[in-house]
Amino acid sequence: MFSAYLSLYGISNCDTVKKARQWLAQQNIAVEFIDFKKHHPSMDQLTQWCQYVGWQNLLKKTGTTWRSLAPAEREDLNETKAVALMHQHINLIKRPLLLEGDRLVLAGFKQAEWEAHF
């Protein structure tokens, strides 16, 4: 049995988050769920998460929020600009995020990766 304190960050109505929560429940892995819509991550939190998985892996570029940004906002990206965008538009944060304590260990839900981790 896994013993570290686990937190799952995401948006409750996101299909990928729902899949991750269902998978965790099937594995009897208890997590605290934290909804981005209710508990907006700070710039410091986002910066810390980037240190674990890289800002490129934390920034979600596949959704309508990304496509609706002005071209100037999407160009010349670096960590500082990406963190500012994710802070301003929480839908740009890849989800779900699984943290062990305060350490981000998984971003997004790919079942094989999660199985290998646990």
Q: Which helix (H) or strand (E) holds 45?
A: helix 43-53
Each residue's pLDDT tens digit in the chain (118 positions)? 455 699 999 999 999 999 999 999 999 999 999 999 999 999 999 999 999 999 999 999 999 999 999 999 999 999 999 999 999 999 999 999 999 998 999 999 999 999 999 9
Residues 18 and 95 sit within 8 Å (Cβ to Cβ): no
- In whole angstroms, give the CA distance from residue 22 to residue 16: 10
Asked if residue 103 belongs to a domain, the reply is yes
Count of domains in the chain? 1
- In whole angstroms, give the CA distance from residue 114 to residue 64: 26
Per-residue confidence (pLDDT) for residue 102, from 0 to 100:
87
- In whole angstroms, give the CA distance from residue 71 to residue 36: 25
Asked if residue 50 belongs to a domain, the reply is yes
Q: Is 14 a catalytic residue?
A: yes
- In whole angstroms, give the CA distance from residue 93 to residue 82: 10
Helix, strand, coil % in the chain, rounded to nearest 5: 45, 15, 35
Q: In residues, how long is the chain?
A: 118
Per-residue confidence (pLDDT) for residue 3, from 0 to 100:
52
Asked if residue 83 belongs to a domain, the reply is yes
Taking the model in full, what pTM does it have? 0.90
Residue-range definition of the domain harbouring residue 61 = 6-117
Catalytic residue among 11, 14, 24, 46: 14
Asked if residue 41 belongs to a domain, the reply is yes
Asked if residue 1 belongs to a domain, the reply is no
- Return the structure tokens found at 106: 């998984």
- In whole angstroms, give the CA distance from residue 30 to residue 26: 10
Asked if residue 82 belongs to a domain, the reply is yes
Q: What is the CATH number of the domain that holds 60?
A: 3.40.30.10
Asked if residue 35 belongs to a domain, the reply is yes
Asked if residue 75 belongs to a domain, the reply is yes
